[in-house]
Structure 1
Amino acid sequence: MKRILITAAALSLACAAPAAAQVAALPPPGAGMTAYAPFEHLVGRSWRGTGTKDASVQDVQRWDWAVGGHAVQVVHSVNDGAYAGETIIFRDKDSGAYIFHYFTSGGFHSTGTIRPTGPGAFEVEETIHGLDGFPPMRSTIVMGADGVNRSRSFKREGDAWVEQGGFDYREDPGAVAFMPRMGTSATGDGDAPVTLMSAPAPRREAAASAGPLDLTRRVLRHVDEPGQDVAAYVLIRNGDPVADELISVSCACAERVELHRIDRSGPRPDMVSDPAWSVPGRGELAVRPGSPLHFMLIGYDPAKARDGRVPLTLTFRTAGTVTADFALTDDSAAGWAAFD
């Protein structure tokens, strides 16, 4: 199993052409998203990979902007959290190269360089740290015209690079890279199990983002009768120093969605429909239960829900549009707190 997990680790961020490919033309070095143009087709998307040697091994990747668009983050997990890791890809200012550091749940980490070799193609050179005797690795992948990222890993054996296996990745918007839970370990008198983490697992959701904006804690109150007005909630974090605005929300499950705010400035509370809400730079917009803010789905149709979720589309003035699933909950406050 360790051999499979290491192979998955080496493929967790690869996107490359054949191993001897030349380096492609790069965008000019600089800060911000434009410096990461070769990765734009991956960022903001989730991918599910099937092992080429063992189809029972599934690897899910989620690519997102990090450090407010000044880096790229890849989170991946094998077989729903049996093993997982996180990678930060950064543009080195001096050399202009894309360097990365990969951290794993297996107790080891790796460093290396990602070289674009063509449109949608990369080559990864990787050094494993924390595993004795493990040689340097190389990973490649070719994104086909069918949109499949066919990745392969290679290990140095003598003067040759020998293929170790690979994954075929297809975009899967609903895929979630689950992180392993800390469980129990055997230690102490009689090897009695010791609990490392006893708190319940938090609610998990697929990552959703629009540029530097991350959308989490997405919940919507569950009702059975159609035609009701239903509230939804979300936490929006802005990794960019520049503020943005949420200017609209829509859903095929409702006649319309309004940005509602409870105004308590008068003698009695009043419900106000706002045209937009600000997302502060390096801050957050908390549309949370108990706050004055909520999305109001007018004329909600519960039959549109699938697998306990409803997709809402949020449009921001600068970051653009993102569609994300909102989880149904009988208790909005409890549903929000379940992410803790």
Structure 2
Amino acid sequence: MHRRTLADARRLALTLALTLASAGLLAACACFPDRAPAYGAPTAAQAGSFGALTGLVGKTWRSEPVAEGETGPADISAWSWDLGGRVMVNRHALEDRSYGGVTYVYENGQTGSLDYVYVTSAGFHTTGTFVLGDDGSWTAEEAVTGHDTITRVRSTGRLTPEGTMTMTSEYFAKGEWSPGRNVVYASVDADIPKITGRLAE
């Protein structure tokens, strides 16, 4: 992997996670090693609260950049249910094992919104809300805590008729929004890499 600045590496990792994370761009499937048990599928009513995001569960996804010239390690991301179907969990890691994170998505009992928290191996975390679109898409905007420059991220994702997941993102840093990454995830038979290192500086 080519060396890059810590800020660029974190930006890449944060984007991948959102596909997170979102996917929104977020683990584990009980049928694979190194993944936590699902602890029960949701009821039909519970699943309805998560909309199109339910299509992510029980699968492992691998990212591929769409824009020409984009480089960096692929992201491996797996989704599952937890707490009897009240929470969606995403666990992900970059293939070079330098970075990963876990996202918990849940219906806010007070507001009815679909909120989430994302905790990373790089020491920062985010909180945000998914908004489900009538066309099967979802958007997310989150506040970032503990990152050197990025304070907000917003992204849009969807499952395609071909069975892939797409995600685009933007970052808010130094008073302005900047384009993030445009990524497609395909379903794969793979394990989440074990995180062994740190992001390159």
Q: Same fold (TM over 0.5)?
A: yes
2 CA distance for matches of 1:96 and 1:169?
28
Q: Deviations over 1:252-300 (max 9, x none)?
A: xxxxxxxxxxxxxxxxxxxxxxxxxxxxxxxxxxxxxxxxxxxxxxxxx
1:7 aligns with 2:23: no
Report 1:1-340 matches (<5 A): 1-15=9-23, 32-53=46-67, 54-156=70-172, 161-172=177-188, 174-181=189-196
What SS does the corresponding residue of 2:97 show, helix, strand or coil? coil
> Larger strand proportion, structure 1 or 2?
1
Query: What's the C-alpha RMSD, in Å, of the aligned pairs?
Result: 2.6
Which one-letter code corresponds to 2:126 in the other structure?
S
Q: Deviations over 1:161-199 (max 9, x none)?
A: 432113210111x1222231379xxxxxxxxxxxxxxxx
Which one-letter code corresponds to 2:145 in the other structure?
H
2 CA distance for matches of 1:157 and 1:103?
19
2 CA distance for matches of 1:134 and 1:160?
10
* Structure 1: tracts of 5 or more residues without a match: 17-29, 184-340
Q: Residues 118 and 161 of structure 1: is their aligned pair in 2 closer, same or farther, counting only changes over 3 Å?
A: farther
Task: Using the TM superposition, give the Cα deviation of residue 39 of structure 1 relative to its aligned residue in structure 2, in angstroms.
Answer: 2.1
Higher relative contact order (CA 8 A, sep 6+): 2
**Partner residue in 2 for 1:228:** none
1 CA distance for matches of 2:151 and 2:62?
27
Matched-pair identity in %: 25
TM-score, with normalisation over the residues of structure 2? 0.73
**Partner residue in 2 for 1:316:** none
Q: Deviations over 1:197-253 (max 9, x none)?
A: xxxxxxxxxxxxxxxxxxxxxxxxxxxxxxxxxxxxxxxxxxxxxxxxxxxxxxxxx
> Larger helix proportion, structure 1 or 2?
2
Contact 2:149 2:174 in 1 (8 A): no
Which one-letter code corresponds to 2:52 in the other structure?
P
Q: Across the two proteins, how many residue pairs are aligned to each other?
A: 169
Q: Residues 101 and 166 of structure 1: is their aligned pair in 2 closer, same or farther, counting only changes over 3 Å?
A: same
